[in-house]
Amino acid sequence: MPKLKREDGGEAATDYVESLDRGLRLLQVFGTRPGAMTLSDIARASDLPRATARRILLTLQRGGFVTSDGKLFALTPQVLTLASSFLRSSQLVGVLQPVLDRVAERAREIASLAVLDGQEVVFIARGGPVRVFSGGLEIGYRLPAFCTSVGRAMLSQFSDAELRERLKSAPLQALTPQTVTDPRRLVAMIAADRNNGYSLVDREAEPHFRSISMPVRRYDDVIVAAINIGSHVDRISVDEMIARFLPLLQDAAASVRPQLL
């Protein structure tokens, strides 16, 4: 067991466990490319010594999270229990999932729930007009916050000064020809979203996709997530998105607010 450094007052200065951090980092490497990987590939991608990566992989294999044929390593379905634990324990998902399903049925498009994680958004739930999903963003999918409607809806909780500071450290890389990367324009656009109470992003994150999002507020008015409806540009115009989808999202966000603690 690692020893904890202590301050003069006797309190632990850090509870950091390096081996756990390395193990989690190594698990994330598998999501960077399809298929099984060699030990050398995993060590290189996780920036770990080969011997360290091997020990971690063998530990994960014993726990049932990794399988190997002696040369290649791959994740097992056991890894999904980590994500399902979050989904089962998340109040947001529990409260919003039936709401997303209703919104999706009425819109006849996929509705999604996302949270802010640093400079990115993570999609944690979605509903579809039917229970067999054939498209849309997968649960766990990440995108930059600055160029997505869910991201801008959540970023609207910050003041203009706070936004400027956040954008200084954000990798403002264009994902499509329409992506806005100028920090001054972004601050102005997010400020407009704040005033409007919603965000609409047109082909900035994906070339043929537009979406509209509402911030999700808990009982004390703090923004904790965002819900959105997205569509291919050939199916829904910007005006129709505002006319048809915005009222659905507004009603959905208002209905869950008293339930979120």
Give residue-wise pLDDT tens across range 176-233. Answer: 999 999 999 999 999 999 999 999 999 999 999 999 999 999 999 999 999 999 999 9
Please give the Cα distance from 146 to 148 (Å, whole number): 6
Confidence of residue 33 (pLDDT cuts 50, 70, 90): confident
- Examine domains 18-79 and 90-259 and report if their fold is the same: no
- The stretches of the chain forming alpha helices (DSSP H) are 18-29, 39-46, 50-62, 80-89, 91-107, 149-155, 160-168, 183-196, 238-240, 246-256
- The share of the chain scoring above pLDDT 90, in percent, equals 74
Residues in the chain: 261
Q: Which fold has domain 18-79?
A: Arc Repressor Mutant, subunit A (1.10.10)
Please give the Cα distance from 228 to 161 (Å, whole number): 26
Task: Kindly report, residue by residue over 120-146, the tens digit of the pLDDT.
Answer: 999 999 998 764 444 456 788 899 999
Query: Domain-by-domain residue ranges, the chain?
Result: 18-79, 90-259
Q: What is the mean pLDDT of the chain?
A: 88
Which residue type sits at 120?
E
Task: Calculate mean pLDDT across residues 143-159.
Answer: 97
pLDDT at 157 over 80: yes
Q: Which fold has domain 90-259?
A: Beta-Lactamase (3.30.450)
Answer yes or no: pTM beyond 0.95: no
Task: Calculate mean pLDDT across residues 19-41.
Answer: 89
> What per-residue confidence (pLDDT) applies to 3?
38
> What per-residue confidence (pLDDT) applies to 81?
80
> What per-residue confidence (pLDDT) applies to 138?
77
> What per-residue confidence (pLDDT) applies to 14?
64
